[in-house]
């Protein structure tokens, strides 16, 4: 009996020991792996990107293009999610005035943004996105449109203020572009500045400008021989099956869709670290958006890249792309700063409408 009791006691002891061991593993394992699980289960950084259309695009949605790019970026990074929202200029302005800001902003001329809200780029420069004449760029174009003169005959010899109608499709300065292209006043820019060739203001003529769709219809109905329009008109003609000829515009362009990373307000402690992380991911997304892999797909929305070759040289879009990139031997001479105020934009269009080309160029240099 004693021997049997001893055996039973040993068995109980071993069972108790095994139970303790199992419980130790059960409770110790989560503690040992908690750091790894926490790291794997960390919530990704979430950034907001607001997109604003201020001028007509090509044939698709720029906001949807950004959403697709943001999704692809998130799949690559995995630790960052970018939420893209489509805003009107008025809606974004109201949000800014109430103290609400995104982490990134996609916008064009016609939206009154404050350049002080943006973080300067160290490795990107574009004169239209500086905010100041000699400062660093705080916004850079991720896609662009272009101006062109359209003719059904292909004969541009009669192009003048009397024979052209201007298509206006947003906050861009279409009349300014047309006036500069027509060259209403010949001037020479020398060491002493800009000189008028003697033509009087009374001899200068302004052009007729209409909303884009009305201008397009009036042109097709023969109201004017030429239409001064954009890439949007190129796709309108294509959809209609209209044979058209395009004369590219090199002298001026303001059809740039910019992107910038915002830095809104001072913060300390953990909030400051969060802002620093947001800026880092924001700049990373800008680099991703400007990479050739993404830029080469802008034909999906009928827009142009400042760097990637997308369209065939023998197409209307290809000719406009070459003019925009300066591949035809002529670079874009003038642009308007995207941070130009509403009052300055009105003054610019006023000079253009009155044919005051010398004053117009002086003004563009000053803002």
Question: Greater confidence, 76 or 191?
Answer: 76
Percent of the chain with pLDDT over 90: 63
Report the distance separating Cα 290 and Cα 308, nearest Å: 9
Rounded to an integer, the average pLDDT of 10-20 is 49
Report the distance separating Cα 146 and Cα 303, nearest Å: 9
Q: Per residue in 200-216, pLDDT tens?
A: 443 456 788 999 999 99
Report residue 134's pLDDT band, with 50, 70 and 90 as the boundaries. Answer: low
**Looking at 76-90, 108-122, 172-186, 316-330, which range is the least confident one?**
172-186
The domain locations on the chain are: 45-145+256-299, 147-248+317-366
CATH of 45-145+256-299, one of 3.30.365.10, 3.30.450.20, 3.40.190.10, 3.30.2130.30: 3.40.190.10
Report the distance separating Cα 135 and Cα 141, nearest Å: 16
Mean pLDDT for the chain overall? 83
**Looking at 16-20, 28-32, 71-75, 265-269, which range is the least confident one?**
28-32
Smallest CA-to-CA distance from 342 within 179, 116, 114, 111 is with 111
> Is 56 in contact with 22 (CB distance < 8 Å)?
no
Report the distance separating Cα 90 and Cα 81, nearest Å: 26
Report the distance separating Cα 336 and Cα 367, nearest Å: 8
Contacts of 278 (CB under 8 A, 6+ apart): 45, 47, 103
Report the distance separating Cα 154 and Cα 253, nearest Å: 23
**pLDDT beyond 60 at 25:** no
pTM over 0.85? The answer is no
Phi-psi region of 78 (alpha: psi -120 to 50; beta: other; left: phi over 0): left
**pLDDT beyond 60 at 197:** no
Select, from the ranges 35-44, 59-68, 179-188, 262-271, the one with the highest average predicted confidence (pLDDT): 59-68
**pLDDT beyond 60 at 6:** no
Per-residue CA distances from 130 to 77, 94, 254, 339 (Å) = 29, 24, 14, 8
């Amino acid at each position: 009996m004693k021997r049997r009791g001893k055996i039973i006691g040993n068995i109980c002891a071993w069972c108790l020991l095994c139970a303790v061991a199992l419980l130790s593993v059960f409770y110790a394992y989560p503690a040992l792996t908690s750091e790894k699980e926490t790291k794997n289960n960390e919530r990704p950084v979430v950034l907001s990107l607001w997109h604003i259309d201020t001028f007509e695009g090509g044939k698709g949605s720029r906001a949807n293009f950004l959403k697709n790019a943001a999704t692809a970026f998130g799949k690559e990074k995995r630790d960052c999610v970018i939420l893209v929202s489509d805003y009107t200029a008025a809606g974004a302005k109201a949000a800014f005035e109430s103290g609400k800001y995104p982490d990134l902003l996609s916008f064009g001329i016609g939206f009154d943004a404050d350049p002080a809200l943006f973080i300067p780029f160290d490795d990107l420069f574009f004169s239209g996105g500086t905010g100041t004449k000699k400062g660093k760029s705080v916004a850079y174009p991720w896609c662009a449109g272009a101006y062109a003169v359209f003719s059904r005959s292909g004969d541009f010899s009669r192009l003048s203020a009397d024979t052209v109608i201007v298509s206006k499709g947003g906050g861009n300065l279409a009349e300014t572009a047309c006036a500069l292209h027509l060259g209403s006043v010949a001037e020479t820019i020398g060491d002493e500045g800009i000189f008028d060739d003697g033509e009087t203001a009374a001899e200068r003529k302004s052009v007729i400008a209409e909303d884009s769709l009305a201008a397009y219809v009036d042109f097709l109905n023969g109201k004017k021989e030429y239409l001064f329009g954009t890439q949007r008109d190129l796709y309108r003609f294509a959809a209609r099956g209209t044979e058209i000829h395009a004369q590219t515009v090199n002298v001026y362009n303001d059809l740039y869709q910019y992107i910038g990373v915002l830095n809104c307000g001072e913060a300390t402690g953990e909030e400051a670290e969060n802002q620093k992380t947001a800026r880092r991911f924001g700049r990373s997304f800008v680099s991703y958006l400007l990479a050739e892999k993404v830029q080469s797909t802008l034909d999906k929305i009928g827009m142009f890249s400042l760097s990637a070759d997308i369209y065939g040289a023998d197409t209307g879009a290809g000719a406009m792309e070459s003019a925009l990139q300066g591949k035809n031997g002529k670079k874009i001479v003038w642009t308007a700063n995207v941070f130009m105020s509403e009052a300055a934009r009105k003054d610019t269009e006023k000079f253009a409408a009155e044919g005051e080309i010398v004053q117009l160029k002086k003004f563009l240099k000053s803002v």
